[in-house]
Amino acid sequence: MSDHLRKASPILLSIAIFLVSINLRPAVAAIGPLVSKIIGDTGINSTAVGLLTMIPVFLMGVGAIYVRQVRAALGERGGIALGVLIVAGSSIARYWLPSGSGLLVTAAAAGIGITLVQSLMPGFAKRNFGSSTSRVIGLYSTGIVVGASIAAGTAAGISDAIGWSGTLAAWSAPAIVAVLLWGVSSRHAASERVVNAPIAGARSPSFWRNARCWSLMIFFGVGTGAFMLAMAWIPPFYLEQGVGRGNAGLLLSVLTVIEAVTALGVAAFIHHFPDRRGPLVFSLLVTALGFVVLHGWPVELAHAAMALLGVGIGILFPLSIIVAIDHIDDPTTAGNFTSFVQGGGYILASFVPLFAGAARDSLSDLSRVWLVMAVGSLAMIVLAVRYSPESYRRFSTSLRQASTFGVAEVTRY
DSSP 206: -
Rounded Cα gap, residues 189 and 71, in angstroms: 15
Q: What is the pLDDT of residue 403?
A: 56
> What does each C-alpha distance from 72 to 76, 130, 337, 343, 410 come to in angstroms?
9, 22, 16, 18, 10
Rounded Cα gap, residues 217 and 282, in angstroms: 20
Rounded Cα gap, residues 50 and 386, in angstroms: 33
The residues that bridge with 410 in the sheet, in sequence order, are 194
Q: How confident is the model at residue 8 (pLDDT cuts 50, 70, 90)?
A: low
Full residue range of the structural domain in which residue 369 is found: 3-412
Rounded Cα gap, residues 61 and 116, in angstroms: 10
**pLDDT tens by residue, 229-280:** 887 788 888 888 888 767 777 787 788 788 878 877 887 787 788 888 999 9
Q: Angle at Cα 63 formed by Cα 115 and Cα 31, nearest 5°?
A: 45
Q: How many domains does the chain have?
A: 1
Q: Has this prediction a pTM greater than 0.75? A: no
| Residue 150 confidence (pLDDT) above 60 | yes
Q: What share of the chain has pLDDT > 90, as a percent?
A: 24
Q: What is the pLDDT of residue 282?
A: 95
| Residue 5 confidence (pLDDT) above 50 | no
Among 144-148, 204-208, 248-252, the minimum mean pLDDT is found in 204-208
Average pLDDT, stretch 340-366? 81
Rounded Cα gap, residues 245 and 158, in angstroms: 12
Rounded Cα gap, residues 340 and 356, in angstroms: 26
DSSP 27: H
275: alpha, beta or left? (left if phi > 0; alpha if psi -120 to 50) = beta
| Residue 410 confidence (pLDDT) above 50 | no
Q: Are 50 and 354 in contact (CB under 8 A)?
A: yes
Q: Bigger pLDDT: 335 or 307?
A: 307
> What does each C-alpha distance from 200 to 68, 196, 407, 409 come to in angstroms?
20, 13, 9, 14
> What does each C-alpha distance from 87 to 25, 98, 109, 312 come to in angstroms?
10, 17, 7, 28
| Residue 98 confidence (pLDDT) above 80 | yes
Residue 68, helix vs strand vs coil: helix
Q: How confident is the model at residue 133 (pLDDT cuts 50, 70, 90)?
A: confident
DSSP 37: H
**pLDDT tens by residue, 187-203:** 877 665 544 444 444 44
**pLDDT tens by residue, 285-312:** 999 999 999 999 998 999 999 999 999 9
Q: Bigger pLDDT: 387 or 133?
A: 387
Rounded Cα gap, residues 39 and 52, in angstroms: 12
Find the CATH number of the domain harbouring 215.
Answer: 1.20.1250.20
Q: What is the pLDDT of residue 234?
A: 85
Per the prediction, the chain carries an average pLDDT of 82
